[in-house]
């Protein structure tokens, strides 16, 4: 396989992961919205949120999956935008994307961990 073909196939796989993570996100967003609408009924407090999430494996797993999907989907999209609107080169766009992906993963998982354990 030539270098151009290998690059093309890699880009095709990225596109594929963009679509898969979008599917996951569509589901996660709908569940999250429904949850939020339910949760804000009659007001909302930090204690109320933690009361639901603390020690709750269901919530932890759900939001961990949500974070993972974001960490895949967002960098792919940002790299494309950087390429098409800012004229950033292929390699530079990908390093930018990986950086953002890592940031989202760390911040996201920290949040999931925090609401699961109930904070310090």
Partner 1 sequence: MSEPLNVRLWRGGEDGRFVSYEVPRRDSQTVLDVVTHVQRRIDPTLSYRFSCRVGMCGSCAMTVNGLARWTCRTHVSKVVGSDGQLEVGPLAHLPVIKDLATDMSGFFDKWARAQGQFSGTQTRHDDFAQVRPDSAQRQAASAGIECIGCAVCYASCDVVAQRPDFLGPAALNRAWTLVSDERDKAQTERLRAVAGDAGCHACHTQGSCTERCPKQIAPTLAIAGLKRTVARAAVRGKL
In angstroms, the CA 56 to CA 50 distance is 10
In angstroms, the CA 55 to CA 115 distance is 9
Q: Does 12 bind partner 1 (CB under 8 A)?
A: yes
**CB 32, min distance to partner 1, A:** 26
Q: Does 113 bind partner 1 (CB under 8 A)?
A: no
Q: Does 15 bind partner 1 (CB under 8 A)?
A: yes
What 8-state DSSP symbol labels residue 1? -
**CB 12, min distance to partner 1, A:** 4
Choice between 19 and 110, CB closer to partner 1: 19
Q: Does 5 bind partner 1 (CB under 8 A)?
A: yes
What are φ and ψ of residue 87, in 5° steps?
A: 65, 20
Residue 43, CB half-sphere, CA atoms under 13 Å: how many? 4
**CB 70, min distance to partner 1, A:** 20
User: What Cα–Cα distance (Å) separates residue 111 from each residue in 36, 37, 56, 81, 84?
Assistant: 17, 20, 14, 27, 32
Q: Please work out the total of residues on this chain that contact partner 1, with binding judged by CB under 8 A.
A: 16
**CB 20, min distance to partner 1, A:** 10
Residues that bind partner 1 (CB under 8 A): 1, 5, 7-16, 80, 83-85
């Amino acid at each position: 396989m030539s270098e151009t073909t290998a690059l093309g196939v890699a880009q095709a796989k990225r596109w594929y992961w963009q679509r898969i993570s979008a599917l996951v996100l569509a589901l996660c967003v709908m569940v999250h919205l429904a949850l939020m609408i339910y949760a804000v009924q009659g007001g909302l407090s930090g204690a109320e949120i933690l009361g639901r999430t603390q020690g709750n494996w269901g919530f932890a797993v759900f939001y961990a999956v949500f974070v993972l999907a974001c960490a895949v989907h967002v960098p792919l999209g940002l790299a494309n935008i950087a390429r098409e609107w800012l004229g950033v080169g292929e390699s530079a766009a990908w390093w930018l994307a990986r950086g953002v992906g890592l940031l989202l993963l760390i911040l996201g998982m920290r949040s999931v961990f925090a609401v699961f354990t109930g904070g310090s």
